[in-house]
Every structure is written in C-alpha cells, then in structure tokens.
C-alpha cells in the first residue's frame, strides 16, 4: 500500500523548534511566511515527481508494506535535519536534497511499522555486530536507500552526495562504510531472509 503523504507547515511544532534553535543560533534569520510557503511548494512538487517510484522501491527492497494509509510530514523553520516519529523535517534542508531526506525518514517508518511483531533491535544486534545503536539502526536504512538511488532512480550522483554528506555525522558514515563493505544487496537479502524466517 502506498500511503498518502502530506507535506505541510506545522503551526504547532514550528515555534517550539524555532525557539530552541535560536538559543544555539541567535544569528539565524528564519524564513518569512512567504519564503516558507514557497519552500514547501517547491519541495512538494519535487517529491510528487518521484513519490510513487521511491515508495514502491523501498517496499520492494525490504519486502515490506506500510501499515498507515496516511503519513503527515511536518515542516518547521529551524531544526537540524529531521526525524521520523512524528515525521518532522526542517526548511533548512536544501530544496534539492529534501526528497532524499524525506526518503530516509520514510524508510525508518517502513522498517519500524512493519516489524512491530519482531524484536528489531535484537535482530539488528545479531546481524550487525556494532556497539553503537545509532549505527546499527542506519545500516538497513542506508542499504535500502542505496537500492532506491541505484536500482530505482538510477541516480548514482545522489548516492555519492549522500555518502559525501555523511562525513559530518560519524554514525551515519560508519553505517555507510558497513553497507559499502558488505554490499547493499547482501544486507537487504539477509534482512528479508530474517524477516521471513
């Protein structure tokens, strides 16, 4: 099932994130309402162009389906990146990589929702002998995203950009290094076998 994905400004969450962000970044000039609406219009249009192929690609890679029939994407003006529960993304994410950031968070949701009957942490601990949980949690996410980049979108340059960006986050970089070493197709096959078993 492909859920209805709605990308919209979050009137309730935005002031909370903005206030917290400004504590550490007092020099930050938030987007005006007009700039924010233009940003959201742009990223929505870009997402819609690839939404169906990306969502079907991640489902195919993992052999999983979304349970929710609707997913809300909450946009706020000031946050470093985003997170998946609830799905919140920052308008500070450059427009040209927003689709890839959203894909990353949707992969998290797909894995989390679809594996509720399993002890996914135990499975990740067994499959990925890595002490840091943040690294373990991103190995399968990155393997799935590599599948989407290479096998679905046929866009190695977006994959390369994601790898290059990961140097700013040691856990993400380590997860990508493991995916590169073990091979994304091997990691996906191993997960599908474990999940089916």
| Choice between 18 and 123, residue whose per-residue pLDDT is larger | 18
- pLDDT, mean of residues 62-86: 93
Q: What is the pLDDT of residues 35-66, one digit of tens each?
A: 999 999 999 999 999 999 999 999 999 999 99
**Does residue 197 carry a pLDDT above 60?**
no
Q: Cβ distance 70 to 103 under 8 Å?
A: no
pLDDT in tens, 128-150: 989 999 999 999 999 999 999 99
Please tell me the predicted confidence (pLDDT) of residue 127: 85
Domain residues of the chain, as ranges?
4-113, 118-196
Evaluate the omega torsion of the peptide bond into residue 86 and state whether it is cis, within 30 degrees of 0: yes
On the question of pLDDT at 80 being above 90, the answer is no
pTM, rounded to two decimals: 0.94
Radius of gyration in angstroms for the set of CA atoms belonging to the chain, rounded to a whole number: 17
């Amino acid at each position: 099932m492909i859920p209805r994905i709605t990308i919209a400004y979050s009137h309730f969450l935005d002031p909370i994130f903005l206030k917290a962000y400004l504590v550490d970044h007092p020099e930050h000039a938030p987007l005006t309402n007009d700039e924010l609406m233009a940003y959201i219009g742009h990223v929505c249009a870009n997402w819609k162009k690839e939404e169906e192929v990306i969502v079907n690609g991640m489902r195919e890679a993992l052999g999983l389906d979304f349970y929710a029939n609707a997913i809300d994407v909450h946009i706020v003006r000031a946050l470093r990146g985003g997170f998946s529960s609830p799905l919140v993304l920052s308008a500070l994410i450059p427009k040209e990589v927003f689709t890839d950031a959203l894909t990353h968070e949707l992969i998290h949701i797909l894995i989390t929702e679809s594996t509720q009957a399993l002890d996914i942490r135990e499975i990740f601990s067994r499959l990925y002998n890595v002490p840091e949980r943040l690294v373990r949690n991103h190995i399968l996410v990155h393997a799935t995203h590599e599948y989407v980049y290479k096998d679905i979108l046929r866009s190695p340059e977006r994959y390369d950009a994601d790898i290059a960006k990961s140097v700013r986050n040691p856990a993400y970089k380590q997860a990508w290094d493991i995916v590169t070493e073990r091979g994304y197709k091997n990691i996906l096959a191993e997960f599908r076998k474990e999940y089916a078993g």
